[in-house]
Amino acid sequence: MTKRAWYIGCDQSEIAERVLLIGDPARVARLAAQLDEVHWVKENRGLRTISGFHKGVRVTASAFGMGGPIATIALHELANLGATTFLRIGTSMALPPVELGEFLIATEAWGQDGASIAYGGTGDPVPAADALVAQLRQSVADHGLPSRAGRFASFDGFYRDMFSIDPDTQARVAAVREDMLRQGVLVTDMETAPLFTAARALGVRAGSLCVATVDSNTQRKIADDEMATLERRLFDAALDALVAA
């Protein structure tokens, strides 16, 4: 019997073994313009998924929105349908010495979130798949992108632990940031660690390539026009790495 994913709403024949996991559904629509022979899966609950070809290799891209719980649902459903290789691409918050506009490759990710616990996280960083790290290093070099590789950390509480918009959270966010700096974290996001932890539990490969778009100290965010250029470069580098891994 053909397997079907409950929330994403696709069946096995609609997805590839190699998957890009993307937060923003609008980003998936823009990625579609860079793929050949695009198939759009019927969208469900904002989970937008497409499959197409890059350099002759079939890939799927699936948007999950924001946060570890739904990102791991997307990975889990696609892994259950036979996907084996997952690359998260998106934005991240920079800690020194990372500068805005740099491309960050996760070698490992440290879960400060709930979904990581659900998938057996012990509180220690979880490594990325070696093959994806190697291909990402090669790809960012081939594309001439400014990059670093190292430790990511992921959180659930964006406005509690990562970014303060209320006076009474400033001290907490600053303390979390100091702790991350002490632990050698390069960037923070909301999904890399739970995805790595779920991938380990499910026996599939995972990697993460993120652009640093927000400064964790000043809260400055990259402008939309610059982000559009960075996003195209992110797609190019990620697709080349994914099909080679």
Ligand X SMILES: O=P(O)(O)O[C@H]1O[C@H](CO)[C@@H](O)[C@H]1O
Q: Interface with ligand X by CB under 6 A: which residues?
A: 23-24, 66, 90-91, 158, 189-191
Residue 72 touches which of ligand URA, ligand X, none (Cβ within 5-8 Å per kind): none
Nearer to ligand X, 24 or 215 (CB): 24
41: three-class secondary structure by DSSP: coil
Minimum CB distance to ligand URA, residue 230 (Å): 12
Nearer to ligand X, 66 or 117 (CB): 66
CA distances from 121 to 114, 124, 186, 192, 203 (A): 9, 7, 20, 13, 14
Nearer to ligand URA, 62 or 213 (CB): 213
Q: For 172-240, where are the E strands, in sequence order? A: 185-189, 205-215
Residue 66 touches which of ligand URA, ligand X, none (Cβ within 5-8 Å per kind): ligand X
Lookup result for tokens 């198939």 = 39
Question: 97: cis peptide before it, omega within 30°?
Answer: yes
169: three-class secondary structure by DSSP: helix
Residue at shortest CB range from ligand X = 90
Question: Of 5, 91, 92, which Cα lies nearest the Cα of 51?
Answer: 5
Minimum CB distance to ligand URA, residue 163 (Å): 7
Contact residues for ligand URA, defined by CB under 6 A: 91-93, 162, 189-190, 213-214
Residue 214 touches which of ligand URA, ligand X, none (Cβ within 5-8 Å per kind): ligand URA
- CB atoms near residue 89 (< 10 Å): 25
Minimum CB distance to ligand X, residue 63 (Å): 9
The answer to whether 64 touches 24, Cβ cutoff 8 Å, is: no
Nearer to ligand URA, 95 or 129 (CB): 95
Residue 24 touches which of ligand X, ligand URA, none (Cβ within 5-8 Å per kind): ligand X
Measured between its terminal Cα atoms, the distance across the chain in Å is 30
Nearer to ligand X, 69 or 127 (CB): 69
Minimum CB distance to ligand X, residue 213 (Å): 7
The answer to whether 102 touches 43, Cβ cutoff 8 Å, is: no
